[in-house]
Copies of this chain bind each other. A is one copy, B any other.
């Protein structure tokens, strides 16, 4: 059996009891470690589970999945995923491959950032489609998020923006020379995300949002040091110090908000006066 086990969002104790039992008994344990990370290290998990873990990087999952699935017709293999197992496309691929090999598959759900973000106080049924933001480079500034946000905002919905992480990346030079030397991991911050959003609005000029649009920065959702910071996009550009360490996400508010959301969220506002003024003028309209 292939078990896809969700680990939740923060630390080693966020695994479910069901998930933990599977991990303890499986023949092999893999950890998918390139679409998201927990807030604790691999060694903490290994000690807690009493098991050694094989890190499954993108290359292994996408090109060498048969090694992960080896003998899973008769043995139990646990494939651990931060958040919920079906958060990322990659794992759909793995399940399809298991089906081809006649390997039974079971998933153990867990908290995902898509629902965990509800802790910020916004109603989950007021969210539209989720978008991703990648690190821009000089030559690569993918802006498909802009059109998606436009669609969400046109109907008044909030948008959850998931932020890029770069782990085990090689510099172009090391890649060209075939050196397996990796750059230090990078995690996009709320400030970088807000900045990139405003750059694209500047370029496209369709008025999908503005520096005065309200948003919430979220850090370490589900963890003990969880932090929400509410403000305008302009304010959030400079709020990384307040946000603290990774992982970060951002929510751009839609105008279809409930008074209860306002009451809950304004507690997180960097500047309550600005927040109230803009909210009153532009939000809370059905």
Please give the residue numbers on chain A whose beta carbons come within 8 Å of chain B beta carbons, in ascending order.
Answer: 6, 8-9, 11-18, 20-21, 83-87, 89, 92-93, 95-96, 99, 107-112, 114-116, 118-119, 121, 123-132, 151, 155, 157, 221-222, 258, 260-261, 263-264, 267
Once the chains bind, are B86 and A124 in contact (CB under 8 Å)?
yes
With A and B bound together, what is the CA distance between A12 and B172 in angstroms?
50
Chain B residues contacting A129 (CB-CB under 8 Å) are: 125-128, 155, 157
User: Top 9 A-B pairs ranked by shortest CB distance?
Assistant: A86-B118, A109-B111, A112-B115, A13-B18, A13-B17, A125-B130, A151-B155, A109-B116, A84-B115
With A and B bound together, what is the CA distance between A135 and B131 in angstroms?
33
Once the chains bind, are B109 and A8 in contact (CB under 8 Å)?
yes
Chain B residues contacting A14 (CB-CB under 8 Å) are: 16-18, 109
Q: Which B residue sits closest to A111, measured CB to CB?
A: B109
Once the chains bind, are B124 and A93 in contact (CB under 8 Å)?
no
Chain B residues contacting A258 (CB-CB under 8 Å) are: 89
Chain B residues contacting A263 (CB-CB under 8 Å) are: 96
Best-surrounded residue of A83, A119, A126 (most CB of chain B within 10 A): A119
Chain B residues contacting A86 (CB-CB under 8 Å) are: 115-116, 118-119, 121, 124
Chain B residues contacting A119 (CB-CB under 8 Å) are: 85-86, 107, 109
8 Å CB contact of A16 from B8, B93, B127: B8
Chain B residues contacting A95 (CB-CB under 8 Å) are: 121, 264
Best-surrounded residue of A110, A157, A258, A260 (most CB of chain B within 10 A): A110
With A and B bound together, what is the CA distance between A54 and B99 in angstroms?
43
Chain B residues contacting A151 (CB-CB under 8 Å) are: 155
- How far, in Å, is A216 (CB) from chain B's closest CB? 13
- How far, in Å, is A97 (CB) from chain B's closest CB? 11
Chain B residues contacting A15 (CB-CB under 8 Å) are: 16-17
8 Å CB contact of A92 from B6, B109, B114, B121: B121
8 Å CB contact of A114 from B11, B85, B124: B124
- How far, in Å, is A52 (CB) from chain B's closest CB? 20
In the complex where A89-B123, A116-B84 touch, is A110 in contact with B110 (Cβ < 8 A)? Answer: yes
With A and B bound together, what is the CA distance between A114 and B87 in angstroms?
11
- How far, in Å, is A113 (CB) from chain B's closest CB? 9
